[in-house]
Amino acid sequence: MSVTFSDIQQAARRIEGKVVTTPLLEVPLLNRAVGCRLLAKAECLQLTGSFKARGAFNNLLQLTPEQKTKGVVAFSSGNHAQGVAYAAQSLGVPAVIIMPKTAPALKISNTRAYGAEVALYDPETESREKIGEEISKSRGLTLIKPYDAEFTIAGQGTAGLEIVAQCKALGVTPDHVVVPCGGGGLSAGISIAVKETFPSTQMHIAEPELFNDGLRSLESGKREFNTHKGGTLCDALMSDSLGVLNFPILQEKRVTGFAIRDEEALKAVAVAARYFKLALEPGGAAALAATLFKLQPKNKTVVVVLSGGNTDPAIQADAIRQFSDIIAV
Amino acid sequence: MSVTFSDIQQAARRIEGKVVTTPLLEVPLLNRAVGCRLLAKAECLQLTGSFKARGAFNNLLQLTPEQKTKGVVAFSSGNHAQGVAYAAQSLGVPAVIIMPKTAPALKISNTRAYGAEVALYDPETESREKIGEEISKSRGLTLIKPYDAEFTIAGQGTAGLEIVAQCKALGVTPDHVVVPCGGGGLSAGISIAVKETFPSTQMHIAEPELFNDGLRSLESGKREFNTHKGGTLCDALMSDSLGVLNFPILQEKRVTGFAIRDEEALKAVAVAARYFKLALEPGGAAALAATLFKLQPKNKTVVVVLSGGNTDPAIQADAIRQFSDIIAV
């Protein structure tokens, strides 16, 4: 394996004090309404509003002094952007962030507010990977990859270490752990951490229907790609494919998963506001959507990762207004 | 003093494992935007969606076996109702909850879902205190008071113990602690806990303009009363007056405070969703509103208690849509 449990433990020690331990939340009324025990890992409460700060710090804290002086570059639809920009600013490292011009306005303005230089590109016609590599070479910047990198996977996996510790404190072994998936950084990292301690736990990814490459890859046994460049409100989960490193990790951990529709993600945003009192982005609610509307795990204990909350407010407000009664008591 | 620091410590031991430790959250972008360090005590993440579960368990765990068999009664606009109903159900105690018919529908349906018998009354023409005492006497139920009782104040004060421990872990002494205030259960309890450890910290209450009896009482030196029975979206903070026990505690701790308008509470709901990723009710956002729009504490460290998140979704959605840019970066 490219990333080991020990790598994640080291990452946790490295980033301690730079990020926060997020709570594992439980709402008795919701448990009763859905007939299972839901434990929500509230990564939207992580610094920068998503889990991405974990991987960003794990990368930036391992730069050489020369790399720190020259700076870093990252490409991202917004959450990795904010994570890297915040970590860079905290550590005094210059950062260039390449973002699609279609990214939520809030994610772009936040990234700029963290002091990063933001370069916008057209996702319909340009490749963010190519742009990132070009800027990286021409300006001597270190590329901080959003998912397909050992340090990134190990950093995101620290959320999995916390899940393990929090489940142990509750005295429970989860039957299922469900994680939103774009390129597979968070799901690969959490799978390594969780399966080390709870080998019987079934790991799942949740993807938007239009970006279901991960599910197709796990089924076909080779990396599958998406042809879409947009078309989902789950902007955080729009990647071309699983990462080269990420895919075999998910295979080895026997991960399965679910594709969800945007409307299901929006329903989960409303459920999260009503029951968990959390304000999520659609992609951040994908695992909750998959759990509520696909997995429907009667009498089981399920850890659901709520991965982020950076969204345009109108989308969140519409979801809360429209779907708050979708699961009633 | 009717309630001591030791009472709160005992309450914390008593209710341990029945309630959760809520996080103290911080958002670097918001700190920068407002020019101070805001530490948000997220009591909306407490079981039942508000701090009220703390006082409810501290009361119910001290009932005699006979009292437990006969059951309890409580009057509440909704958060105390849910706290008592949940604690009662957890401990196998029958509960009757007296709620105003004007309470948010979500609070009424949640209270029923916790297995309580709900009796609705008209707040314009009937007194909840009288109804509660009558039912209590006629059916032999133990009245669990929402704020004017030692066990209730000590229970809510456990949130203050957590604030103290969390501030110590961060190595900070807060300059200000701001707490939403109805009858003064939460603010009295937190004041005792915080001032014991941080005597230089200034405590503040935040009240709706139409229910500013606490501020008037602290100014005049005697308990002042409200004439309004409604008229604010901060339903959790509509009490006739500070409690008989609560008022002298707030006096002794030299508490001051702020009255806020409903629109300011709604703006704070939007700020909480955008930055803290929390879904609050207007009353639960009152202290954040007071901090942002009244205290405006440049270069200070402020603990803001976000006391609850049980609201009708349309109000929350409107606030998020309308005011999400009220504090921008």
Residue A262 CA to residue A231 CA, distance in Å, equals 9
Q: How far apart are CA A88 and CA B66, in angstroms?
A: 62
pLDDT at A228: 87
Confidence of residue A133 (pLDDT cuts 50, 70, 90): confident
B-chain residues near A109 (CB < 8 A)? 328-329
User: Residues of B with CB below 8 A from A50's CB?
Assistant: none
- Nearest residue in chain B measured CA to CA from A42: B277
Residue B9, min C-alpha distance to chain A (Å): 22
Among chain B residues, CA nearest to A275 = B49
- Tally C-beta pairs within 8 A across A and B: 103
Extract the tokens encoding A216. 């197709």
Chain B partners within 8 Å of A270 (Cβ): 313
Chain A nearest CA to B328, separation (Å): 9
Amino acid at A129: E
Q: Which residue has better confidence, A329 or B298?
A: B298
φ/ψ of B216, rounded to 5, equals -65, -35
A49 at B interface, C-beta within 8 A: yes
Measured CA distances, A10 to A13, A20, A169, A193 (Å): 5, 16, 21, 12
DSSP assignment string, A89-128: HHHT--EEEEEETTS-HHHHHHHHHTTPEEEEE-TTT--H
**Local confidence band at B130 (pLDDT 50, 70, 90 cut-offs):** confident
B267: CB partners within 8 A, 6+ apart:
B289, B292, B293, B319, B323, B326
Sheet holding B37-42, edge to edge: B24-25, B37-42, B301-306, B176-180, B202-208, B256-260
Least confident of A211-220, A231-240, A252-261, B6-15: A231-240
This prediction's pTM: 0.97
> What's the mean pLDDT when you consider all of chain A?
96
pLDDT band at B229 (very low <50, low <70, confident <90, very high): confident
Task: Give A315's pLDDT tier (boundaries 50, 70, 90).
Answer: very high
Q: What is the DSSP string of A209-273?
A: GGG-HHHHHHHHSS------S---S-GGG--SS--TTHHHHHHHTT-EEEEE-HHHHHHHHHHII
All residues of chain A having their beta carbon less than 8 Å from the beta carbon of residue B116 are: none
**Closest residue to B45, CB basis, from A277, A316, A329:** A277
* pLDDT, tens only, B264-313: 999 999 999 999 999 999 999 999 999 999 998 999 999 999 999 999 99
Residue of B nearest to A40 (CA): B45
Dihedrals φ, ψ of B300, to 5°?
A: -110, 165
Ranges A239-243, B74-78, B150-154, B231-235: which has the least confidence = B74-78
Confidence of residue B161 (pLDDT cuts 50, 70, 90): very high
Which pLDDT score, from 0 to 100, does residue A77 have?
Answer: 79
pLDDT band at A329 (very low <50, low <70, confident <90, very high): confident
Tens-digit pLDDT profile for residues A199-211: 999 999 999 999 9
Question: Could you report the predicted ipTM of this complex, rounded to two decimals?
Answer: 0.96
A45 touches chain B (CB under 8 A): yes
End-to-end CA separation in angstroms for chain B: 45
| Chain CA centroid to CA B123, Å | 20
Describe the crossing of helices A52-60 and A79-91 by its angle, rounded to 10 degrees.
40
Report the run of H or E that residue A25 belongs to, with start and end: strand A24-25
